Amino acid sequence: MKIIDVPALDQILDGLRSRGYTLLGPTIRDQAIVYDEIASTRNLPVGWKDEQSPGTYRLHRRDDDALFGYVVGPHAWKKFLFPPVQKLFHVTRNGQELRLNRPKPDAERRAFIGVRACEIEALSIQDQVFTGGPFSEPSYLARLRNMFVLAVNCGEPAATCFCTSMGAGPAVKCGFDLALTELIGSDRHEFIAESGSPEGEELLRDVRSREARSDDLRRRRELMDKAAHSMARSVETSDLKELLYRNQESARWDRIAERCLSCANCTMVCPTCFCSTVEDVTDLSGDHAERLRKWDSCFTMDFSYLVGGSVRSSTKARYRQWMTHKLATWQDQFRRIGCVGCGRCITWCPVGIDITEEVAAIRRGETTSAPTGPLEKSHDRYSTGMDE
């Protein structure tokens, strides 16, 4: 591993740009850290920290100039690989003839700067959705091939983080071209840099660096351990699928539904949510039509609409669908849990519903002897008569 400084990192960013990459990274806008185009390290949220809790997101100034002293905001990298609106094709009509026009393949090269471990895991989860089944999404594949990942190890998880429970962090293990660990103190501001691909190796070789010493590596280990041990939230995952499958009729879902606004924020900020809809639109002449794919959410009323009515018309059914899918049915579909523990759904829920708390509540509901729902009660009802 190498040690580089901030100017060297800027050189790496220049290097990426000269190779034709658009730099995309965290930057501050509207009092949040979002992912957008950046030019250099100066565009990063230098010296800023995020404070997150259920329904709350605030930025505070740090007392140092760390470049990556925060975790994740409302944006996920999925917005670049799986865009919120995408044209699938357009059709032109000429009398009774129709001509199909495919959009040009997306050849843009994108460098994601500052990707966290949970986000790398989320990207690999979405890879599976869009390329791991019987059908592949060709535009997704194209964007994936043109992606460069500059990852960053998290040193200070937010209060809403629980990546360790999901085996998704905080340390970046693979899936990157370059990975950095920021070392900042009163007398230094450096990065431990490791390459994870030939391209990353090349870029690292082209800048000034020194070999990491054993105390650098020890410092890195300490930071990683501290981060891993300071998660404020956790989820017991060993039996998560069975737990949720057993409790589809739990009274807890009704409790959650009393609070949930079905605003769909959680699905918008979630880095693994992949639901979309397809819209066909025409122009006024009636001779041109486009098919668009747009992000969708299982929380909308007409997501499950069939002739006769929506299958999931109650908020309870929709919340249950989202949470059960994320934590349980995803395992049957994709052989892994669909959640990476990034905590965004907790932070960005306007009423502060906490998925980790809900799992615990459902588990608690099983062990209490009191009946939790109508079914338990009626089972007992006919067992014995009453003695006089």
Partner 1 sequence: MPAREATLTAVFEGHDAMLPSWFRVARIRSETQDTFTLELTADGEKTDFTFQPGQFNMLYVFGVGEVPISISGPPPLRDRIIHTIRAVGTVTRNLWRLKHGDIVGVRGPFGTAWPLKEAEGRDVVIVTGGIGLAPLRPVLYHLLHHRKKFGRVILLYGARTPNDLLYGDEFLWPALPLDLTVDYTVDRAKTDWRGQIGVVTTLIPRAEFDPSRAVTMVCGPEVMMRFTIRALSERGVASERIYVSMERSMKCAVGFCGHCQYGPAFVCKDGPVFRWDRVERLFGIREL
Partner 2 sequence: MTVIQQEWMSNALFSGLPPDCVERLSHTTRNESFESRELIFREGEPADGFHLIQKGSVALEIFVEGRGAVMIETLGPGEVLGWSWLVEPYRWHFDAKALTATQTIVFGGRVVREVFESHRDCGYLMLKRFLPIIVQRLQATRLQFLDVYHARA
Among the listed residues 61, 83, 77, 65, the one whose alpha carbon sits nearest the alpha carbon of residue 26: 77
**In the complex, least distance from residue 52 CB atom to partner 2, rounded to whole angstroms:** 38
Backbone angles phi, psi at 306, to 5 degrees: -130, 160
Distance CA 361, CA 99 (A): 55
Nearer to partner 2, 61 or 381 (CB): 381
Binding window for partner 1 (CB under 8 A); candidates: 158-166, 177-185, 258-266, 284-292: 284-292
Residue 374 found at the interface with partner 2 (CB under 8 A): yes
Alpha helices, DSSP H only, in 19-116? 78-81
**In the complex, least distance from residue 132 CB atom to partner 1, rounded to whole angstroms:** 10
In angstroms, what is the C-alpha Rg of the chain? Answer: 24
101 binds, among partner 2, partner 1, none (CB under 5 to 8 A by kind): none
Nearer to partner 1, 219 or 293 (CB): 293
CA distances (Å), origin 331, targets 33, 169, 216, 239? 31, 19, 39, 11
Distance CA 210, CA 5 (A): 10
What string marks each residue from 129 to 148 as x (binds partner 1 by CB under 8 A) or -?
Answer: xx--xxxxxx----------
Residue 385 found at the interface with partner 2 (CB under 8 A): yes
Residue 379 found at the interface with partner 1 (CB under 8 A): no
Among the listed residues 87, 42, 98, 104, the one whose alpha carbon sits nearest the alpha carbon of residue 67: 42
Nearer to partner 2, 135 or 382 (CB): 382
Residue 164 amino acid letter = T
Residue 79 found at the interface with partner 1 (CB under 8 A): no
Instruction: Identify the bridge partners of residue 151 per DSSP, sorted by sequence position.
Output: 115, 179
Helices 6-18, 198-205: crossing angle, 10 deg rounding? 120
Residue 95 found at the interface with partner 2 (CB under 8 A): no
What string marks each residue from 329 to 348 as x (binds partner 1 by CB under 8 A) or -?
Answer: x--xx---------------
Among the listed residues 385, 249, 234, 378, the one whose alpha carbon sits nearest the alpha carbon of residue 320: 249
Q: Give me 161's structure tokens.
A: 């983080």
Residues in contact with partner 1 by CB under 8 A are 88-89, 91, 93, 96-98, 100, 102, 129-130, 133-138, 245, 248-249, 274-282, 286, 289, 291, 293, 296, 298, 303-308, 311-314, 316-317, 321, 325, 328-329, 332-333
Residues in contact with partner 2 by CB under 8 A are 306-311, 313, 374-375, 378-379, 381-386, 388
